[in-house]
Amino acid sequence: MTSSRSFAGRGKRNAGCARRGALRIAFCLLTSVSCLLFASGCRQDMHNQPKYRPLRPSPLFADGSSARPMIEGTVARGTLREDEAFFTGKVGGATVEELPFTIEAADLDRGEERFNIFCTPCHDKTGSGRGMVVQRGYRQPPSYHIDRLKQADAGYMFDVITNGFGAMPDYKAQIDPRDRWLIVAYVRALQLSQTGTAADIPGGDPEAANKQRQPAGGGKH
């Protein structure tokens, strides 16, 4: 009986050792696979890029130069200037009188947003030229509501935004052409807001609007 129990005990110990050995082998395999996966993510493709650095020679071309001239007529993406009026505000050197496309309500909203971002620091939200930068000592721009600017062509305003004027820097790098036109449209709306009448309201009632504008007492002072 003693021999049988001893044999059974050795069998259990051997089985336990076998299980532990299998676990060690599985652990080693998993570790090896993990290391291989980690190493595969450390490729140097972004560090050692297949490219030519400036002024490096190349055996691919007859002149031995890796720097190739651009094909004639090449333009950068987004810089094709086929529509002269749209991209310059001018046609044949003369500024265009009106905006080159139809303005919708959403366009005015966009123009107001761009105006508030780029223009209000100097021109303020009403266009009077008393923005916060001016109040801190910067040169005051003219009000949008003077006759000269109310009568100015839309293309003139676009050109000023594009190329700057006087103390005003250019904004062609910060504002794309369409947004410049939308700012011009919003400036026109600001100008109309100071000179418009009740009759200018589409579908409105001029008489009712005038009554609302009159002070108490029949408008007498």
Tokens of 30: 């998993």
Which pLDDT band, with edges at 50, 70 and 90, does 95 fall under?
very high
Please tell me whether residues 191 and 88 are part of one structural domain. yes
Does residue 53 lie in a domain region? no
Which pLDDT band, with edges at 50, 70 and 90, does 217 fall under?
very low
Does residue 217 lie in a domain region? no
Please tell me whether residues 181 and 109 are part of one structural domain. yes
Instruction: Determine the average pLDDT of the residues in 43-66.
Output: 85
Does residue 177 lie in a domain region? yes
Domain around 20 = 8-39
Strands, E, within 40-195: which ranges?
90-91, 94-95
Does residue 166 lie in a domain region? yes
* Spatial contact of 158 and 180, defined as CB atoms under 8 Å apart: yes
Query: Strands 94-95, 90-91: parallel, antiparallel or unpaired by DSSP?
Result: antiparallel
Q: In this predicted structure, what is the pLDDT of residue 220?
A: 40
Does residue 107 lie in a domain region? yes
State the total domains in the chain.
Answer: 2
Please tell me whether residues 103 and 187 are part of one structural domain. yes
CATH of the domain at 131: 1.10.760.10
Residue type for 208, please? A
pLDDT digit string (tens) for 60-75?
Answer: 999 999 998 889 989 8
Q: CA dist 135 to 113, 126, 130, 167, Å?
A: 22, 15, 7, 15
Instruction: Give the separation between CA 161 and CA 168, rounded to whole angstroms.
Output: 9
